[in-house]
Structure 1
Amino acid sequence: MKITIIGAEGKYNAEYFFIKAFKRLGYEVNFIDQYEGIRRKTLIRLLSTRLSIFRKFLNNIRINKIIRNMDLGNSDIILVFKGELLTESSLKILSDYNVYLFYPDTFRFGLILKDRLQYFNGVIVTTLHKIFYEKLGAKRVISIWWACDPEVHRKLNEEKIYDVSFVGTFYPNRWLTLSKVKRKPHVFGNFWYLKAGYHHPPVYGEDYIKIINQTKINLNIHHPSDLKAEAPNMRVFEVAGSSGFILTERMSILRNIFKNIETYSDLDELNEKIEYYVNDDKVREEVGYSLRQQCIDKHTYIHRVERILKEI
């Protein structure tokens, strides 16, 4: 079986982990980077997902030229990751094949979903709430969770040098929470012009795994739309896979995924739990070990690929 994946090239992004899992299971993967040849990738991504007028200029970028001229007939499955740079004419071409959209930005960026989902045989999302996508024209909605890669997300023999840390891009709700954490957090990420705690540059890959392992309490703060969709983000599974102790917002669905994950519902509970767990090394280690085992048993990218193939 041959699988074509259209997405964004990047070490340790979703495309990387899914491609690795498909190959591990013995499938041939053809990857097309929709951002190849684009210099200001972040700017183009922001404009293409937020401004309808900008999308009129996408027709001549490389990815759409490739789709117009490429023979995709030997692909058994085509998976498009977000597809923010694909024009409607490209989607019409792809619609002749067994094409699915992987769209983890739950309830966001309707601009690249409205009047476009009908070109896909289905959309793969990270929430159980499907009505949002069905109303936008999705023929089928397949729900999966994020996952970990046990070879990457793993326990390291590192000294705990951070009581509390957070890794992620600035969102207003994240700043509001972190600025009120009594035990100052170490914050790693982009666009933190409003300060909250001790700030550090963003970390990726092995540096990211190292920070998880060097931290007593790994805070996680979701995008508001993820909370609304009850869609645990990648970080939940990455910290769990790394045997880290994570403290994240309460979602009813989380207890069905991890039986002993620690959550909070408000700032008072967050601060209380930080002060309790920061001094209890034994409990944190036990929880982290348990989360890792649950990931290995049920929540790897191999599990997710097997589920996708079963569904489509």
Structure 2
Amino acid sequence: MSKINNDVDILLEKDEKIQSEKKLTNSNKSKIINKIINEDYSNLTIAIKSPHLKGTKHWGELFFSKAIKKSFEKYGFKVIIQEREEWYNKEEFDIALVLRGELNYNPDYSKINIMWNLSHPTFISIEEYEKYDYVFIASKKYADKIKNKAKTNVNALLQCTDPDLFYPEKDENISDEILFVGVTRGIYRTIIKDILKTDHDVTIYGRGWEEFIDEKYVKGYFIPNDRLHKYYSSCKILLNDHWKEMIDEDFPSNRLFDALACGTFVISDKIPSADTLFEGSIVTYEDMDDLNEKINYYLTHEDERVKIAKKGQRIVLENHTFDKRIIEIVSTLKETLSNS
């Protein structure tokens, strides 16, 4: 046999293998699609690909994953949570739901692959978005931008809250007037700089602050997630901020949803959708003087403060829970698959 014929045979063999793998992939995917269309959810397993490390208990993504799991299970889905180290293990699943922040996941094309882009949009290329069957983005502004560029299904899906964990419950042993909960992430966050230039005290829970501020302001490093609602409910003002790219691309933080669900009054840095999404129930500030003025005003106008907070609570509970988000995901899958 000539070398040319031998090379041709090898190429044909490789092509047959590739085509065989494609058929297998398409076959597997077709079975999953049919189960979704027929609402055969009890025979579908969703793997939530969370970026938290195995054994860690303080990562927000872990709590987020648990809330998603609970809401999907109400539909009858089987759900597993896979920490970062388990993303590529041999455990069987049908649908991958990737919580995309800083870390990239390589999809298995024999599955239905869903990305929920929660943060750090500038880390993600159009090519990466296009690896997924569905992309949900926690910003309407950014979803509209990507929808016009990426050749895949793109929809806005904002962050949300779990009302079983976040609800009003004051604790008489907690007396923080102005509260901030969050780690430094290696930077001196602007909202803390601003509050400490005023005459107001602030109570901070989070790691890394001793590098930037007097330790007298730091009351603890961590609040357990099942107690966080008590701290939100018991303070008079909760401070909130965002990374610059999250402001620029209008990604409201999940703390806004959690705090409002507790009936908490929030002052935040200015994010574009604050007025429209929350209908004015998030008070935003421009600079240190504006922050100081608004804190002074709302501390002395309790009725107005409480009224704004209750309005925010109603809006979040009616529109922004995990149960609502799972309905959106399932409805989108069914609609697009049925019409394809």
Q: TM-score, length-normalised on structure 1?
A: 0.78
Whether 2:271 is the aligned partner of 1:251: answer: yes
How much does 1:239 deviate?
0.5
Separation in 2, partners of 1:237, 1:224: 19
Q: Show structure 2 runs of 5+ residues with no match.
A: 1-40, 334-340
User: Residue 135 and residue 220 in structure 1: after superposition, are their counterparts in 2 closer, same or farther (change >3 A)?
Assistant: same
Residue identity opposite 1:182 in structure 2: D
Q: Counterpart of 2:180?
A: 166
Q: Counterpart of 1:242?
A: 262
Give the CA RMSD over aligned residues: 2.6
How much does 1:99 deviate?
0.6
Q: Counterpart of 1:286?
A: 307
| 1:299 maps to which of 307, 317, 320 | 320
Q: Counterpart of 2:82?
A: 32
Whether 2:136 is the aligned partner of 1:149: answer: no
Q: Show structure 1 runs of 5+ residues with no match.
A: 36-61
Question: How many corresponding residue pairs?
Answer: 274
Residue identity opposite 1:277 in structure 2: Y
Separation in 2, partners of 1:240, 1:305: 20
Equivalence map 1:22-171=2 (5 Å):
22-35=72-85, 62-64=86-88, 66=89, 69-72=90-93, 75=94, 77-82=95-100, 88=106, 91=107, 94-110=108-124, 113=125, 115-128=127-140, 129-130=142-143, 133=146, 139-159=152-172, 161-170=175-184, 171=187
SS of corresponding position for 2:316: helix
SS of corresponding position for 2:227: helix
- Which structure shows the bigger proportion of residues in helix conformation? 2
How much does 1:182 deviate?
3.0
User: Residue 154 and residue 87 in structure 1: after superposition, are their counterparts in 2 closer, same or farther (change >3 A)?
Assistant: closer
Matched-pair contact (CA < 8 Å) for 1:106–1:126: no
How much does 1:227 deviate?
0.6
Q: TM-score, length-normalised on structure 2?
A: 0.72
**Identity among equivalent pairs (%):** 19
Deviates more, 1:120-129 or 1:232-241: 120-129
How much does 1:87 deviate?
6.0
Q: Counterpart of 2:207?
A: 190
Structure showing greater radius of gyration is 2
SS of corresponding position for 1:274: helix
Q: Counterpart of 1:270?
A: 291
Separation in 2, partners of 1:260, 1:281: 17
